A and B are shown apart, each in its own frame.
Chain A
Amino acid sequence: AQSVTQLGSHVSVSEGALVLLRCNYSSSVPPYLFWYVQYPNQGLQLLLKYTTGATLVKGINGFEAEFKKSETSFHLTKPSAHMSDAAEYFCAVREGSQGNLIFGKGTKLSVKP
């Protein structure tokens, strides 16, 4: 069975600092991995996804994530945080192209001026 663990329910960084949100997954088959962002009172928006090929994937708003099979991780990073990045971030896994999305519990990112 698939599962996703997001380390840290709340992360706080200063504006301009590195953002690192951690995600570990388990899957019995090669996974498809996703990061979604949710702003208050809004639905989820896809930030980036890994399916096959290059393990470093770039997404919107300057975010990127690296798939590390040996570590079963898919951590999300951004070199320099902006106030507008404050939101909740969800990591999700899917078994290949056909399975259902399984979400982690989310990490709330706060950005201090």
Chain B
Amino acid sequence: EAGVAQSPRYKIIEKRQSVAFWCNPISGHATLYWYQQILGQGPKLLIQFQNNGVVDDSQLPKDRFSAERLKGVDSTLKIQPAKLEDSAVYLCASSLGRRTGSSYNEQFFGPGTRLTVL
């Protein structure tokens, strides 16, 4: 079974530029998550999708960050304009869906995109 795919793996931009990240979840996984992992910290949830609807975006800085999941499969996360403090690893994860039972909600993580903002 193929894992969660993310691209690009690395990105370097200057502040005030825009950037987009792409995620392809595990086939059949209804729930998709984007996390931000700043150096020295644990991952922090930015947004969660169930199919193509947003479940939780309370931690997403909506003035500069946006995300979409068209057709309930692939997802893109965009930052516009980027700030220095956006330098981080952006992790995508997916799970089967929100039902009772812990195994149903196990999250599988992609390798991440490392963003450096200069």
Contact = CB atoms under 8 A, between A and B. Distances in A.
Interface stretch (A12-20, A36-44, A65-73, A76-84): A36-44
Interface string B44-80: 1100100000001000000000000000000000000
Nearest to B44: A103
Nearest to A46: B106
B40 A43 contact: no
A90 interface: yes
Contact of A45 (B40, B104, B109): B109
B111 A106 contact: no
Q: Is the interface of B mostly helix, strand, loop or mixed?
A: loop
B112 interface: yes
A44 B109 contact: yes
A91 to B, nearest CB: 8
Q: How large is the interface on B (under 10, 10 to 19, 20 to 34, 35 or more residues)?
A: 20 to 34
Interface string A85-106: 0000010101001101101111
A92 B104 contact: no
Contacts of A94: 105
Contact of B56 (A43, A100, A104): A100
B105 A41 contact: no
A105 B42 contact: yes
Contacts of B16: none
A51 interface: yes
A43 B109 contact: yes
Contacts of A42: 111-112
Contacts of A98: 98, 100, 105
Given A44-B93, A103-B42, 19 more contacts: A9-B40, A41-B112, A42-B112, A43-B93, A43-B111, A44-B91, A46-B107, A51-B102, A90-B43, A92-B42, A97-B100, A97-B101, A98-B100, A100-B45, A104-B42, A105-B40, A105-B42, A106-B40, A106-B41
